[in-house]
Amino acid sequence: MKKLLAWASLFLFAAGVPANAELWPERDAGKVRELEARKSDWRNGAVVYQVFLDRFAPSPNKDSSVYKEPRKLRAWNETPSNGHYIENYKVWSHEVDYWGGDLTSLTGKLDYLEDLGVDVVYLNPIFESLTNHKYDASDYQKIDPVYGDRQQLKKLSDDLHSRGMRLILDGVFNHMGRRSELFQRALKNPDGPEHKMFQWKNGKAVGWADVENLPELRLENPAVREYIYAAPDSVVQSYLRQEDIDGWRLDVAFDLGFKYLEELTSTAHRVKPGSAVIGEIWNYPEDWYPAVDGVMNMHGRTLLLGLMQGSVSGPVAASMWETMIEDAGYDHILKAWIVLDNHDTPRLNHILKEAWQVRMARILQFTLPGSVNLYYGSELGMEGGDDPTNRAPMRWDLVDDSNPTLALHRKLLKLRQDYPSLRYGDFRKLHSSQLFAFLRKTVSAKDTVIVLANPGGQTVKELLQLPDSKLQDRTPLVNLLQPGKELMVQAACLEVELAPHEVLVLAPDTNPRGKGYDRYDRLP
């Protein structure tokens, strides 16, 4: 009989059910299987570190000859500033200012990213093009020489994989650059096949957002789809196969529409099962899954900024998040990127003027369901307003143990490693009349995390319900960010007092509670 039980225990463990599953209700065994499936998918709850390659790390042996006119190579300590329009090239001068970062210099900084706790490196566009932002690709199949080549990209990919990290590239497939060979042939021959690959109106190329340098592609033309994702040697497929990248972030994905997004995503999954396709979609997240695996959750960002700025109350904002999660589906939300700032927005500490606002927003970004999109230098407290100041060179001088912003981010990144619930656990909104309050949980109380945020200017005293059946009465709750303020579970409730602008991240101390937790709350 003992041998039989041992074999049964081994089978249950292999199936993702705890070895002591005989002590668990059947519904928990099923929930464990669901959680194991979420855990096995690296796209769920990942920490994604966004790198603007030219500005991340200076290359020590830079060949300045690659910066031909109208490009200019700047000193690393210079701050980007608005320039003038260069009519001959149809770009602004600050779009062709460079600081000298490349693939090799990024590869040399992987120790920093690994120590930080990053799961995924996402690169802004790196394809051949005139500008530093490279949203005007001349040739998708080539890396711009200022950044390196595809062999160096493969080395970066291999180095990341050897550290258990992933690589995502930025795919700009709604439009190209006007200097691309395809577009130049389209201009010269209105009757040629290339002309049909672009959008035209009244005999002029349609530029995305009316930008003359960004002629829009015509995805309705099968030749465009073959070029971008459908053919074996297409852009999407070739980088997944040759450089072994792990996915694509799609620029202005909402402009591509459901049909073509779903074709592109299914193609990526067929070529590399488990790869990620994340869409820059500012719309409401409902209905975009499975056309993409996840969206850049700009809707969620707007709700969080509104909460910090007082335009929406804590309870209403929490209800809005709950509604969004229900509508979009949890699998989609876990893969969606929670964005607070990036290359298209001012940095967070420029948008939010008070230190408590920035701190609370970051804590919520790291504890709400989804994947964290961390813009380079945010962990250091870098500043910057509108483009181009939000794309300033990385402040490596701020990487110091005395930097409080870095210390906070290190704590938050460690919490996501220590508590599985923050990566892929369930979300429950807590009923509150004044707070933004929620709970993340798995099937084990050891994983439960309770987040309480008071964005208001008055002290809040409340009794909160804790909908977690595994939390025992009189279990202490410890503050994970600021040790010292200990609370107590009382009959599945919690009496709290939060000062103005205070945020608590709490977890149960199950160690002193004895046999109850031992009998039903142990995971292998």
Q: What is the pLDDT of residue 123?
A: 98
Comparing 58-62, 105-109, 225-229, which segment has the lowest mean pLDDT?
58-62
pLDDT in tens, 386-399: 999 999 999 999 99
Q: What is the pLDDT of residue 1?
A: 43
pLDDT in tens, 142-174: 999 999 999 999 999 999 999 999 999 999 999
Q: What is the pLDDT of residue 22?
A: 54
Q: What is the pLDDT of residue 484?
A: 76
What DSSP element (H or E) covers 13? helix 2-14
* Local confidence band at 520 (pLDDT 50, 70, 90 cut-offs): confident
- Label residue 249 exposed, middle or buried (CB < 10 Å: 0-12, 13-18, 19+): buried
CATH 3.40.50.150 for the 424-524 domain, yes or no = no
The yes-or-no verdict on residue 135 having pLDDT over 70 is yes
Q: What is the pLDDT of residue 29?
A: 78
Bin 115: left if φ > 0, else alpha if -120 < ψ < 50, else beta.
alpha
DSSP 258-288: HHHHHHHHHHHHHHSTT-EEEE---S-STT-
Amino acid at 269: H
Where along the chain do the CATH 3.20.20.80 domains lie?
47-174+219-418
The yes-or-no verdict on residue 519 having pLDDT over 80 is no
The yes-or-no verdict on residue 17 having pLDDT over 50 is no
pLDDT in tens, 18-50: 445 555 566 677 888 899 999 999 999 999 999
Greater model confidence, 61 or 432 = 432
The yes-or-no verdict on residue 447 having pLDDT over 60 is yes
Q: What is the pLDDT of residue 518?
A: 75
Report the distance separating Cα 184 and Cα 188, nearest Å.
6
Q: Tell me which residue of 194, 438, 404 sits closest to 333, measured CA to CA.
A: 438
20: tokens are 């002591």
Q: Which CATH class, in words, describes the domain spanning 47-174+219-418?
A: alpha beta
Report the distance separating Cα 176 and Cα 174, nearest Å.
7
Per the DSSP assignment, residues forming a β-bridge with 49 are: 121, 374
pLDDT in tens, 240-294: 999 999 999 999 999 999 999 999 999 999 999 999 999 999 999 999 999 999 9
The yes-or-no verdict on residue 506 having pLDDT over 90 is yes
In sequence order, which ranges of 329-367 are alpha helices (DSSP H)?
330-335, 348-351, 355-367
β-pairing, 371-375 vs 337-339, is parallel
pLDDT in tens, 343-366: 999 999 999 999 999 999 999 999
pLDDT in tens, 464-486: 999 999 899 999 999 999 887 77
The yes-or-no verdict on residue 200 having pLDDT over 50 is yes
* Local confidence band at 309 (pLDDT 50, 70, 90 cut-offs): very high
Report the distance separating Cα 104 and Cα 243, nearest Å.
15
Report the distance separating Cα 199 and Cα 216, nearest Å.
6
What does the DSSP 8-state code read for residue 38? H
- For residues 282-307, average pLDDT: 97
**Percent of the chain surpassing pLDDT 90:** 88
Where along the chain do the CATH 2.60.40.1180 domains lie?
424-524
**Percent of the chain surpassing pLDDT 70:** 93
Report the distance separating Cα 258 and Cα 329, nearest Å.
17
486 is catalytic: no
463: tokens are 């009794």
Q: What is the pLDDT of residue 63?
A: 81
Q: What is the pLDDT of residue 513?
A: 58
Q: What is the pLDDT of residue 6?
A: 41
Catalytic residue among 54, 128, 251, 462: 251
Amino acid at 508: P
Listed ranges 49-53, 486-490, 507-511; the one with the highest mean pLDDT: 49-53
Q: What is the pLDDT of residue 28?
A: 75
- For residues 111-124, average pLDDT: 98
398: tokens are 């701020």
Q: What is the pLDDT of residue 7?
A: 40
Q: What is the pLDDT of residue 4?
A: 42
Q: State the average pLDDT for the chain.
A: 93
86: tokens are 């260069």
22 is catalytic: no
- For residues 108-131, average pLDDT: 98
Q: What is the pLDDT of residue 512?
A: 62
